[in-house]
Structure 1
Amino acid sequence: MRTIRVPAAVCGLLALLLGLPFAGGTAPGSVDSAAAGAVAHLSPGALRALVLPTEPYVVLALSVLAVVLCLRAGRRVDAGLALAAPLLAILLTGWLLKPLYDRWKNGTLVYPSGHTVSLVAVLTVLVLVTRRIIMVVLGVLALVAAAAGLVGLGYHYLTDVAGGTLFAVAVVLFTWSVPRREPAPSTG
């Protein structure tokens, strides 16, 4: 599991650096403006449908799925991490990074995107639990859809979504790389 520490560190560093140009500000960058223009033609109904993957009930259902998969495989420690890693990412985002970066949009702190952190953290856990390429593909599709919706509805800038993605992956990978021992199965 130590091999995932390098990508975790890279993602974490990139998330921290990406927000620096926008810290304390509200103005979008050129990439943010281009992304907003690219989804401006979508209807409000379509945009609301695209952000569905970030809704708490969807994220919670995906979390439960990850825990169930771990428990069915007899991986109790991983089941605990499947809950703890996304929760840690969400708490660090809301309590530390958002106030630290102080980037505002529509009266709300937006960097990094908490919507994105919650979704990507759980999707990253599912990729680690299932180790299936299909989970990577489905995760990327869900993220792209959510990003379009979040930007199109004006909740976030694209850089907020990118920062949230990088930070969520970093936290989950770091958490997953912590050395641990699975308890021995009961013989009695």
Structure 2
Amino acid sequence: MRTIAAVCGLLALLLGLPFAGGTTPGAVDAAAAGAVADLSPGVLRALVLPTEPYVVLALGLLGVFLCLRAGRRLEAGLALAVPVLAILLTSWLLKPLYDRWKNNTLVYPSGHTVSLVAVLTVLVLVTRRVVVVVLSAVALLAAAAGLVGLGYHYLTDVVGGTLFAVAVVLVSWPARRHEPAPSTG
């Protein structure tokens, strides 16, 4: 997990460099905006629903509950603290550092995305279920389309936020302990 965290973190840091201090979209950003331009405002608002604070908070509390139910107190604390850490690092460190603006707002990496992906990554780690991975991917893709379509973010902001959130959660999460196999003799 540490290697994946390092790669995601490095990619998040590198992805923002070409756009630092700027306001213009890249070619990929413009293409993504064009791809969702015909969606109605109502559809776009529905697509960003997973990034709303009350949804993110509910998902985060679900992660804490699942950890507590399984008797994993350390992970319950991390399920609460690590997404907050990712959000704070994004807002207080990365956004000012990259200084990328859209609509008079710092946008790289996307804080909407960091908050959502951090709690979804926790849920994936806690449950280790394929269905949670699939639902998380669907929620992220929907949110990305909505964030780009409503003009809140460029696609690169969303990708950078995704990479950064995954990196913070994975680097903070304890390694899974393997239980020894029961003795047969």
TM-score by length of 1: 0.93
Query: Is residue 96 of structure 2 the alignment partner of residue 102 of structure 1?
Result: no
Aligned partner of 1:140 in structure 2 is: 137
Q: CA shift at 1:178, angstroms?
A: 7.0
Residue of 76, 81, 84 corresponding to 2:78: 81
Residue pair 1:66, 1:125 contacting (<8 A) in 2 also: yes
Map of 1:143-182 to 2, 5 A cutoff?
A: 143-177=140-174
Residue of 11, 15, 18 corresponding to 2:12: 15
Query: Is residue 30 of structure 2 the alignment partner of residue 33 of structure 1?
Result: yes
Query: Is residue 89 of structure 2 the alignment partner of residue 92 of structure 1?
Result: yes
Question: Structure 1, unaligned stretches of length 5 or more?
Answer: 181-188
Residue of 54, 59, 62 corresponding to 1:65: 62
Residue pair 1:121, 1:172 contacting (<8 A) in 2 also: yes
- Give me the whole-angstrom Cα distance separating, in 2, the residues matched to 1:71 and 1:22: 42
Q: CA shift at 1:179, angstroms?
A: 9.6
Aligned partner of 2:122 in structure 1 is: 125
Residue pair 1:5, 1:177 contacting (<8 A) in 2 also: no
Aligned partner of 1:183 in structure 2 is: none
- Give me the whole-angstrom Cα distance separating, in 1, the residues matched to 2:70 and 2:176: 19
Deviations 1:54-88 (A, max 9, x none): 00000000011000000000001100000111000
Question: Structure 2, unaligned stretches of length 5 or more?
Answer: 178-185
- Give me the whole-angstrom Cα distance separating, in 1, the residues matched to 2:174 and 2:164: 15
Residue pair 1:22, 1:103 contacting (<8 A) in 2 also: yes
- Give me the whole-angstrom Cα distance separating, in 2, the residues matched to 1:66 and 1:102: 32
Aligned partner of 1:43 in structure 2 is: 40
Query: Share of identical aligned residues, percent?
Result: 82
Deviations 1:41-62 (A, max 9, x none): 0000000000000000000000
Q: Letter of the aligned partner of 2:7 in structure 1?
A: V
Residue pair 1:120, 1:143 contacting (<8 A) in 2 also: yes
Q: C-alpha root-mean-square deviation of aligned residues, in Å? A: 1.2
Moved runs in structure 1, 4+ residues, more than 4 A? none
